[in-house]
Amino acid sequence: MIGIRTIIKSILVPSLTGGLGWVFFSCSSEQVDPDPGTGKQEPVAIAFNGSLNEEEVTRASTPLEDYTTSFRVWAYKNTSVDAGNYGNPQMVFPGFTVRWLNNSAASTTTNTDGWEYILDEHPDQTPKYWDWSAKAYRFFGSAEMSATPGSWEHITEGAERYEYTCNPDATSAEDAPFYTHLWFSNGNAETYPTRQYGQLVTLEFIKPFAEVVFKFTYTDPNATPLPMIEEADFRPQTAGQRIALMGEVVITFPLTGTATQETWESTPEYTKFLTAFTTKDIPYEVFPIRNQGAYRLTVTVNGADKECIVPDTYTNWSPGYRYTYVFKVNDEGGVELETVKLGVTTWTNETPVDYNLYNW
């Protein structure tokens, strides 16, 4: 399952933030004003990299090129600002294709570590450079994994924005696209110390799924024997409610205003679904759904039927996140949700890695 900080390396990383992150490099071409802080006249190429999320968890990283050899990137700069609202968006990267070329690192000025967007099959793709006079920059993109790509739409009615629509199927997660979080900077070093003009742009790619795990711990983990746990069943409390595995996800990237992150909405379909999670410690890939209500765990402990309710506060699933529900089994054979422990971590398509659980 694939769940969104290194330099000069294409890195795909886990994200219950959601997601996978990568390192990419690219560059740019129009003449721009000098850096207002230093007066520099020489152009500085725009470059991309990926990052790990900042949850306090342990992760492994995977090169993006292990999953796909290309991605597309869009970028806009705002050339005006009024009372803190950024306006007049101008396109910088119009959906450029960036391709992985094996053993090509440092072979051109636009290829630092194997990723190149000055390509023979795209002669209109030119190098890009930072515009020091821009009031803000926004970057976002996607990496398609199947012959049925997601769709992009530039919308101007009501507000300038880009929308990316995809129809992921958690039963075929390897074919689902990756999309990025929004990278935003207004060039202010205090506000965005790690997102400065002239520095690497962090693009974190994630899969449009969530991952759910349930676990058991024990009041006395050294008891002999430990309580016997059987017939675990973790499902929505509402009778007949199903757990969606597919549907439509729409991600919106604002091009004006003050928003500094993307938003998303999902519409589930129930032609593919689960009725319950029944295997502990195994991550389940599911469709992300908000406000789906409380969940109920039923389980047999030492032959006695037990039940525990997880409040709806803890069942709002976002794309790219792993949600770990931890139930404590008491010495007496009961089961409870101890202070509602929920581990939220990023997730990856490789062998599971160790991660810490924390209260949310």
Same domain? 34 vs 181 = yes
Same domain? 232 vs 274 = yes
d(Cα 179, Cα 4) in Å, to the nearest integer?
9
Same domain? 48 vs 107 = yes
Q: What is the pLDDT of residues 259-312, one digit of tens each?
A: 999 999 999 999 999 999 999 999 899 999 988 899 998 888 888 888 888 888
Same domain? 311 vs 222 = yes
Same domain? 153 vs 232 = no
Same domain? 178 vs 141 = yes
Burial tier of 261 (Cβ tally within 10 Å: 0-12, 13-18, 19+): exposed
In a domain, 255, yes or no: no
Same domain? 45 vs 138 = yes
For residues 136 and 201, the answer to whether their CB atoms sit within 8 Å is no
Among 187, 206, 225, the domain boundary falls at: 206
Among 155, 175, 206, the domain boundary falls at: 206
3-state secondary structure 320-349: CEEEEEEEEECCCCCEEEEEEEEEEEECCC
Q: What is the pLDDT of residues 23-51, one digit of tens each?
A: 333 333 444 555 555 555 578 877 765 43
Same domain? 315 vs 185 = no
In a domain, 226, yes or no: yes
For residues 1 and 346, the answer to whether their CB atoms sit within 8 Å is no
User: Cβ of 14: how many Cβ atoms within 10 Å?
Assistant: 36
Query: What pLDDT does residue 223 have?
Result: 79
Among 206, 236, 256, the domain boundary falls at: 206
In a domain, 47, yes or no: yes
Same domain? 162 vs 298 = no
Q: pTM for the whole thing?
A: 0.79
Same domain? 118 vs 219 = no
**Residue 70 amino acid letter:** S
User: Cβ of 148: how many Cβ atoms within 10 Å?
Assistant: 11
Q: What is the pLDDT of residues 68-122, one digit of tens each?
A: 788 899 999 999 999 989 999 999 999 998 888 888 777 766 666 677 778 899 9
Same domain? 192 vs 307 = no
Q: Which helix (H) or strand (E) is 250 found in, with range?
A: strand 243-254
Same domain? 101 vs 199 = yes
**Residue 262 amino acid letter:** E
Q: How many structural domains comprise the chain?
A: 2
Domain that holds residue 224: 210-246+270-346
CATH assignment at residue 318: 2.60.40
Query: What pLDDT does residue 112 have?
Result: 65
Nearest to 183 by CA among 338, 322, 26: 26
